[in-house]
Amino acid sequence: MTALNKNPLLEQFLSEARELLEGVGQKLMQLEDAPSDQDLINELFRMVHTLKGNSGLFTFPEMTRVLHVGEDLLGKVRNGEMVFSRELADRLLDAMDFVSLLSNEIEATECIDASRAADSARLAESLRALLPEVSVSSGTAGSTPSSSKSIADTFTQLPLAEIP
Amino acid sequence: MMDGLKVKENVTAKRILIVDDAATVRMYHRGILESAGYAVEEAMNGIEALEKSLEAPFDLYVVDVNMPKLNGYGFLSELRQQENPQQPAIMVSTEAASGDEIAAYRAGANSYLIKPVQPMQLLTHTRLMLGEAPQ
């Protein structure tokens, strides 16, 4: 979907994005004082998840890419696979600053400048480096460890005996 | 004359409840469904959706998974216990993992779509769920 002049959906997206970015900033600061507060972590995850989902309705891959890794990181924290640290909070704040910058750009020009693609890739990479080892080795976002296997390989590994 | 027509239209249109905490997604789904003539209402979470649906059942539910207060699974499980007869529900998730799809069907969904949903995809599933001919 491309951004049209005065597209009400785009206006709604920008308004909700602003609200969510503000919320994410607040929750990140609150979490620094209470890093194990599960409700806060759940809420924070949900906000980044919503923001990512909303951005996916448009063609803003530079924004979606960064939010996707942010969501992955918070998902790990939520599931207890990663500890919420000061470093993580700082990196996520950097990511949200970038998303905020992109939002302002979209508001002004209704698109994202081509030069942002490299910044987005770099930022996503630096965020991904914070993920626990197992996830880092799985490669680029969107690919799965099984994606390189052939269908025949997968078929022989199906736990058919377990199907009732 | 025009008012009379409008009322008639509203009375006959199938009612659909969109349950999603993201206002942008609600607006997107609403736009698609209203363009096809459905009467759309919105709820921001499972609790609000449950209140609205028990007050006056809808013909179809389009339900997000991750929501505050009561998530999509919780809403559908609760709805299935309380409604009679059962109305169809499409679960709309951002998760591509097969476990989530199975969890959706176990909770009571009749159809499962991955966000972002293409307009024709949502309309086709909607018509299928409502027993209407696909267009």
pLDDT at A142 over 70: no
**pTM score, whole prediction:** 0.83
Interatomic CA distance for residues A74 and B100, integer angstroms: 18
What residues of chain A lie within 8 A of the CB of B32, using their CB?
none
Nearest to B75 by CA among B100, B104, B118: B104
Task: Note the pLDDT of residue A149.
Answer: 52
B32 has pLDDT over 80 = yes
What are B56-67's pLDDT values in tens digits? 999 999 999 999
Please judge whether A43 and B28 are an interchain contact, meaning their C-beta atoms are less than 8 angstroms apart: no
Q: Which residue has the higher pLDDT, A24 or B9?
A: A24
Instruction: Extract the tokens encoding B75.
Output: 């809403």
∠ Cα B91 B61 B114 (to 5°) = 20
Of the candidates B25, B27, B66, which has its C-beta nearest A46's C-beta?
B66
Tell me the chain A residues in contact with residue B68 when contact means C-beta distances shorter than 8 Å.
Answer: 43, 46
pLDDT in tens, B90-101: 999 987 666 789
**Bridge partners, residue A115, by sequence:** none
**ipTM of the modeled complex:** 0.85
Q: What are the DSSP calls for chain B, one per residue?
A: -HHHHHHHHHHHSPEEEEE-S-HHHHHHHHHHHHHTT-EEEEESSHHHHHHHHHHS--SEEEEESS-SSS-HHHHHHHHHHH-SS---EEEEES---HHHHHHHHHHT-SEEEESSPPHHHHHHHHHHHTTPPP-
Return the SS3 of A25. helix
Taking CA–CA distances from B66, the nearest residue in chain A reads A46
For residue A49, the chain B residues in CB contact (below 8 A) are 66, 94
